[in-house]
A = this chain, B = another copy of it.
């Protein structure tokens, strides 16, 4: 067996405890690190056979059908597609930006989720530069009338993804602020960290009473090109032609796919493992979140292979996460009266897990410590940070129950997030397997935990 040096060092420290446990789960988790194929099979399958899965569309429905068949073939029980209604936005066909003057040339752009349409003829307007969303917020009311706001930022890669918090407002609230000040449209520097001609889309929102405007993201190279134009143009205005034709198609049906490994005592609250099935239209969603669904499915099957667990393990492959957590809310509404024991989600790519967090470190220190120790051999650090959970486990927050975060290395995540580049080739099979090993170990311990877990710190 080849292991990273750090993992080997960790292994030598904990080997006696493991040897005493004589737990088949340990062997199965170790085996997953070396040779798991289940998670890869899921993510290769859904990205190849289904491709992009924009929420509320026929493609997302094909994704649900594909996933249900995959789960059934592997022996999951109580598989269901739990439908819900949602407001549905689609990107349309025309996504173009073109500098008209003073430096005529095309720029690569894609619409933000929730963007209005320019119509196929497009709009032409002067562009006004803002260093970030905070600078835009200080622009006088009405000062942008008829203009296009351009919003920059200074996002950098970070292991915990925390720069998303610094840069994200450019997308999350920038177009709404610009529209409220009279802007005809908004163009942002993609909220991302790569340098490829692949824009980062993602949802934006407009405040109540503000009419949505067209809003798009330039790829990072195009955004920096536009910024150089501002430097070179001096006082000359920069004029942009923008053609974006997304549209709202009203209420559509999406759904959450669920499936179970039924436990020996189905009366006990289940362990909930979550991911999301939808992706943006522009990529087959390998990192976000085909990998996550593969990881949780593989872990559940591995736990079962170690022996039928005490508690039921329930998978939630949520629908319509990207466009506003519709699936997460629908699941919580439908199941709020069915207590769950603990929930955790995989939705931050496919790179290795490096940190372990719970919301029961103080309320259930023994279990927290046992879980943390069990995955030290995979190079995962313990942490005092209180877990808040992924987007699709609203139910755990709504029930005030136990939550775990298995934090992945996010250094590469925002190179790919919401771009056309979120494709299978980006997944490192060895790191994907490490995820499966860690999830197997954690899910296996929890599914065999007889006592109440007591979360909600």
Also in contact, A424 and B47, with CB within 8 A (given A197-B198, A198-B198): no
A195 at the interface (CB under 8 A from B): yes
Decide: B49 and A232 in contact? CB cutoff 8 A: yes
A83 at the interface (CB under 8 A from B): no
A363 at the interface (CB under 8 A from B): no
Q: In the complex, what residues of B have CB within 8 A of residue A453's CB?
A: none
A88→B105 CA distance, assembly (Å): 19
Also in contact, A48 and B198, with CB within 8 A (given A108-B420, A221-B423): no
A421 at the interface (CB under 8 A from B): yes
Nearest CB to that of A231 among chain B residues? B48
Contact stretch, chosen from A14-22, A222-230, A264-272, A385-393: A222-230
Q: In the complex, what residues of B have CB within 8 A of residue A228's CB?
A: 44, 48, 424
Residues of chain A in range 194-224 having any CB-CB distance to chain B below 8 Å? 195-198, 220-222, 224
A232→B70 CA distance, assembly (Å): 14
Residues of chain A in range 88-123 having any CB-CB distance to chain B below 8 Å? 99, 102-106, 108
Q: In the complex, what residues of B have CB within 8 A of residue A44's CB?
A: 228
A51 at the interface (CB under 8 A from B): yes
The answer, among B48, B195, B421, B425, for a CB contact under 8 Å with A425, is B195
Decide: A195 and B426 in contact? CB cutoff 8 A: yes
A284 at the interface (CB under 8 A from B): yes
Nearest CB to that of A195 among chain B residues? B425
Shortest C-beta distance, A280 to chain B (Å), equals: 12
A50 at the interface (CB under 8 A from B): yes
Task: Kindly state the interface size class of chain A when it binds its partner.
Answer: 35 or more
A11 at the interface (CB under 8 A from B): no
Decide: B425 and A224 in contact? CB cutoff 8 A: yes
Also in contact, A105 and B424, with CB within 8 A (given A196-B198, A228-B44, A284-B225): no
Q: In the complex, what residues of B have CB within 8 A of residue A195's CB?
A: 423, 425-426
A174 at the interface (CB under 8 A from B): no
The answer, among B196, B421, B423, for a CB contact under 8 Å with A225, is B423
Shortest C-beta distance, A197 to chain B (Å), equals: 4
Residues of chain A in range 20-50 having any CB-CB distance to chain B below 8 Å? 44-45, 47-50
Decide: B52 and A105 in contact? CB cutoff 8 A: yes
Shortest C-beta distance, A316 to chain B (Å), equals: 25
Shortest C-beta distance, A404 to chain B (Å), equals: 32
Decide: B196 and A105 in contact? CB cutoff 8 A: no
Nearest CB to that of A103 among chain B residues? B49
A302→B439 CA distance, assembly (Å): 61
Also in contact, A221 and B425, with CB within 8 A (given A228-B44, A229-B48, A232-B49): yes
A423→B103 CA distance, assembly (Å): 16
Q: List 15 A-B contacts (CB under 8 A).
A: A47-B225, A48-B103, A49-B103, A51-B104, A51-B106, A51-B225, A52-B106, A59-B104, A59-B105, A197-B423, A198-B198, A221-B421, A221-B424, A224-B424, A225-B424
